[in-house]
Amino acid sequence: MSCGDAADGVDGVDGKKAEAVMPKKRTVRRIEKGTCQRCRESKAKFIIRSAPYCTPCFELNVFSRFTRQLYPPLHPPQPASSTKKHNSNNTLYRPARRSSNVLIAMSGGAGSIAMYDMLSRGGYVGTGEETKVADITKGEKEIIWEKGYVVYVDFSGALRAGTGGEEADVEWMRRLVEDRGMVFVALRAEDAFDPSLAERLGGVRATNEDQALAIDLRAAGLPVHPIASTSTTSSPLDKLQTLLASVPPPSRPSILSCILTSLLNTAASSLPNISHLLVGETSTRQASRVISATASGRGWALPLELASSMSLPNGVVKINPMKEASLKEAAYVCRIQRLATRNFRGWGKAGGDEKGRDSRGKGGAMSIEGLTEQFIAALDVTHPATVSTITRTGGKLVFPGQQDQEELCPLCQLPKDPSALEWKARTALTSLGKTPKSEERDPMSSTGAGGEAQIDLAPLLCYACLTTLTPSIHAKKEQAEGTVELPLWVGGRVKMGREEMKSEIRDFLLEE
Ligand SMILES: [Zn+2]
Ligand SMILES: [Zn+2]
């Protein structure tokens, strides 16, 4: 209300007169800081991107950003002739019901709990027993997936945590999932070494695909040779801890991240009739991924990792619907819904032999991932646009390779940089010794001293995984373990012919 206008009430009685006395000024829309800018009625409780929102409007805002990422990959691909704008409008309505199931990845963090909550409250996932078709004219909402599986991967064995808190965490997540009619599946990080995992999940035991491999981390070419998985008596947990102990501490989070990816892939292909895998990676986590992946030389396949959807090697489509919500917003959603969360990851402590940090916060082993996470969290306090600036920049990245001509790295299962070894040889300050060149030497043909088939793993790895498995120069020779066993999926990937890997990558990217 400007000073020239008549006050409310007065206007109704003598409005014309008031207008005649003083010419009406152009009304300036003022944003009341205390009022929600969407409904303009309720008191604002949250300020998101410098706009105030009341609680219901805030939830609606997050939910609309959630569906904007979730819906488009669930629609059939649009014909190439239609324009992009037309495309995006067409794919924003609720997708049709499909006869498959969905796998939801849950870490217990705010991102995945908020995603799970919005999925179950939105009525997207059925209980597997719905036969009735929803009547949309009566306002009923049709489900998208017949049944939902929620998978949680427990890393406490790898972190040697064992404080007892993990079991309680698993229990509250199990209750949360089962109360809403979905199936809870708990896995452990060491299951990556368990040949019966797929069978346990209800799939077919992959006898001819997975192959136990032992790797010699001391040689520059990283030679691997097949071993019988029954030949060793050590448990999967022992194998995981040996592997983690024999790589430098900053490499351990990368290995754990590869294990998580692989276990989710195995669960997606072994559980019955899964068509989609949903992960709740918030924009805050993506921002830290952009920086840490670039710093550790994982930039080649980074655009694929940041995409809101991608097709996995097993044909399942992975969707990240939380891409546009920050960790803080996800935490608010959980707070409003009174859901517990557990944001502690602790991958920096993996391996167990880390020395404590001193009082200045220095010392101890820190990974690039851990440092980046701390850096972004600290900078975001003083500069609230940090996360959105980084993710906007990351969103502009384009995958540089040819989609149908890339090989997959056997460790991270992402397309690999074509010349990782030569690049590393050029940039390294120290000599790597006998560096094999990938073109000159066929990695499949060499044999070990004992006459058994031996393969150099180094030429097959991407730049970042090559760095992950290269032992630290400070590591004493006698301390470094000689040969250690690799997780089972690596063997399967190495065994798979190069041609087969190339054909798998063909439909890696989906149309956005
Ligand atoms: Zn409102
Ligand atoms: Zn890799």
Of the bound ligands, which one is closest to the alpha carbon of residue 411?
2
Mean pLDDT of 487-499: 74
- For 378, counting Cβ atoms within 10 Å of its Cβ (0-12 exposed, 13-18 middle, 19+ buried), the class is exposed
- Max alpha carbon distance in the chain (Å)? 105
341 pLDDT more than 60? yes
Low-confidence winner among 116-120, 155-159, 196-200 (lowest mean pLDDT): 155-159
Looking at the chain, the whole-number percentage of residues with pLDDT higher than 70 is 70
Higher pLDDT, 163 or 285: 285
Contact 408, 501 (CB under 8 A): yes
Strand partners, 167: none
Low-confidence winner among 99-103, 164-168, 439-443 (lowest mean pLDDT): 439-443
358 pLDDT more than 60? no
- 261 SS3 class: helix
How far does the centroid of ligand 1 lie from the alpha carbon of residue 335, in Å?
18
Ramachandran area for residue 346 (φ above 0: left; ψ -120 to 50: alpha; else beta): left
Predicted local distance difference test score (pLDDT) of residue 363: 44
Query: What residue ranges in 34-84 does DSSP mark as E strands?
Result: 46-48, 51-53
Predicted local distance difference test score (pLDDT) of residue 460: 85
Average confidence score pLDDT of the chain: 77
How far does the centroid of ligand 2 lie from the alpha carbon of residue 282, in Å?
23
Higher pLDDT, 186 or 355: 186
Predicted local distance difference test score (pLDDT) of residue 80: 61
d(CA 358, CA 371): 16
Q: Which residues contact 45 (CB under 8 A, 6 or more apart)?
A: 53, 54, 55, 58
Of the bound ligands, which one is closest to the alpha carbon of residue 56?
1
Strand partners, 154: 188
d(CA 32, CA 54): 12
The H or E element that residue 311 is part of is: strand 309-311
Which DSSP letter does residue 201 get? T
Of the bound ligands, which one is closest to the alpha carbon of residue 61?
1
**Helices in 247-354 by DSSP H: which ranges?**
252-270, 283-295, 302-306, 327-336
d(CA 96, CA 453): 51
Sign of CA dihedral 130, 132, 134, 138: negative
The H or E element that residue 491 is part of is: helix 488-495
Q: Which residues contact 356 (CB under 8 A, 6 or more apart)?
A: 363, 364
The model's pTM is: 0.81
Q: Nearest CA to 470 among 224, 250, 247?
A: 247
How far does the centroid of ligand 2 lie from the alpha carbon of residue 177, in Å?
33
* pLDDT tens per residue across span 437-484: 444 444 444 444 444 567 788 888 888 888 888 876 555 554 555 688
Predicted local distance difference test score (pLDDT) of residue 447: 47
Contact 330, 288 (CB under 8 A): no
- For 97, counting Cβ atoms within 10 Å of its Cβ (0-12 exposed, 13-18 middle, 19+ buried), the class is middle
* pLDDT tens per residue across span 359-400: 444 444 577 888 888 888 888 888 888 888 999 888 888 887
How many residues does the structure list for the chain? Answer: 512
Of the bound ligands, which one is closest to the alpha carbon of residue 407?
2
How far does the centroid of ligand 1 lie from the alpha carbon of residue 46, in Å?
10
Q: Nearest CA to 293 among 109, 475, 468?
A: 468
d(CA 421, CA 53): 52
Strand partners, 183: 149
103 pLDDT more than 90? yes
Q: CA 44 → CA 32, 47, 51, 270, 327, distances in Å?
A: 9, 8, 9, 46, 20
Q: CA triplet 408, 412, 414: central angle to 5 degrees?
A: 40
Contact 214, 224 (CB under 8 A): yes
Of the bound ligands, which one is closest to the alpha carbon of residue 461?
2
Of the bound ligands, which one is closest to the alpha carbon of residue 44?
1
Predicted local distance difference test score (pLDDT) of residue 450: 46
How far does the centroid of ligand 1 lie from the alpha carbon of residue 284, in Å?
25
311 pLDDT more than 80? yes
Low-confidence winner among 52-56, 143-147, 155-159 (lowest mean pLDDT): 155-159
Place 6 in a pLDDT band, splitting at 50, 70 and 90. Answer: very low
How far does the centroid of ligand 2 lie from the alpha carbon of residue 298, in Å?
8
Predicted local distance difference test score (pLDDT) of residue 162: 54
Predicted local distance difference test score (pLDDT) of residue 325: 92
